[in-house]
Chains A and B, each alone.
Chain A
Amino acid sequence: MKTHTPMKMAGKVWMSVGLALAAFLVLALMLTTSTDAGDPEQGGEALEVLTVREPSEYSEALPRPEIERAVIQLASEVDGVAELGLEGEVLLIEGKGFYGTAVGPFVRIGGVEAEIVLLLSGSRIVTTIPSTARGATEFVVINPDGRRVEGAIESATSQSGEGRRR
């Protein structure tokens, strides 16, 4: 069994301190030269999705979303959906006050953004169910002005297949 003498232990501690000091000096040198290391502007990043909006900024005349019921159905059972090319299970949200502009409405199921969102009318939305949100019972609808409403899925009984493109 190996043992460490106090002298050897002290040497290792000093070596660690020395390495840390050297690393600190290198870092400090990088930051004080005319390069931009460590600068957040230096690193590129992907473009964000549209930012969350503040409802008070928008026209008061815009409708406020309300949910009456939300059920999981086969796309073929929802009027006007099958002919658009959707198959499998979808979430049908009924209510009022839904609308879209350049973007939206957004639907998040179990916190995950739905990939396909169809605004069939101001009172009906159909979305696919993200595979990572299968089994979730809560969702939120967000209108383009940022107004949101939360809802619960009534019959989350047969989430066996994600809605998919035909």
Chain B
Amino acid sequence: MRFLAVDDDPAVLEIITDLMERDGRHELETANSPLLGLEMAQANPGAYDAFLLDLQMPGMSGIELCAALREIEGLRRAPIIMVTRVSERGYIDDAFAAGATDYMNKPIDPLEWKSRIKMIERLHEERQRSEMLAMRAQASSPENQTPVDFEAAIPLHGQESAIEYLALENYLLTLDGRGLFAHAAMGIHVENALQIHRRANPVVFVETMGDVAAAIFEAVKAHSCMFAYAGAGDFVVVTSRQATIDRENLEFEINHALAEFESIYAADGLPTPRVRVGAQARGSLFGARRANVILQQALEKAQGTRIREAGVETRLLQLRKVLA
């Protein structure tokens, strides 16, 4: 992989260079200022697979740099890891909102470094595979498009407040017990996602989930929140614990917004997406509930009907086999 590390401290760049050299499997370029880093990325976006950014830099913060990199065509899905000592929550929240994939604390621990680089490698490979599938899907005629895995957590680019599911998990993992307690997650399940997936071509399916994301954003934008698509028609919204979001009202607003496009979906032979919003899942101050457990609980609360839907689907498949 090809990395670009941006930090105004030469000692940090030397540490990263030394660790990369010891690893020996990756190429690294460094920039000692955010503006130089941005210039390098803009001049040749294809030259970098992943970025390591400091947060506090003169002239332009790492958060601003992260947001600027995400604007560059070809870098929307590149892993961006914030490598910093800044531990204030506000910075971390802003970094993830700007498109950061993960967050690593300084001083860098060589062992932690190794495991993070491995994580970036896995992420990179996974993204290369899904990008290849997306390219094939777009290049081929609708009937020949490579199917999108229904369970895949497709990243929804260009939707404000929407981040990748993995980044949302990483964000919650940066919270300590009290921080996690201050947050809540709500699952939003597209009840007829499986039907849409079966009837729509891959590109239209992704666009339809994008429509749902836009409707979710409109309905929750008054609250400070982040959300992600988790795959299988499931979205999860993370808000502050104090955010007073009425579940039924949210469900109505999203469904109402989607219903306005009913005729367009009908013209494509698709049902209008219909969502179900689950009750909030919250962190526990005493129960040490883990971040991924909270996300899972939020999704399960919204999926009440999904299990039934899946049951019906399974029975239909069995019936088709018998009839065949």
Are A and B co-members of a single complex?
Answer: no
B residues lining the A interface (CB < 8 Å): none
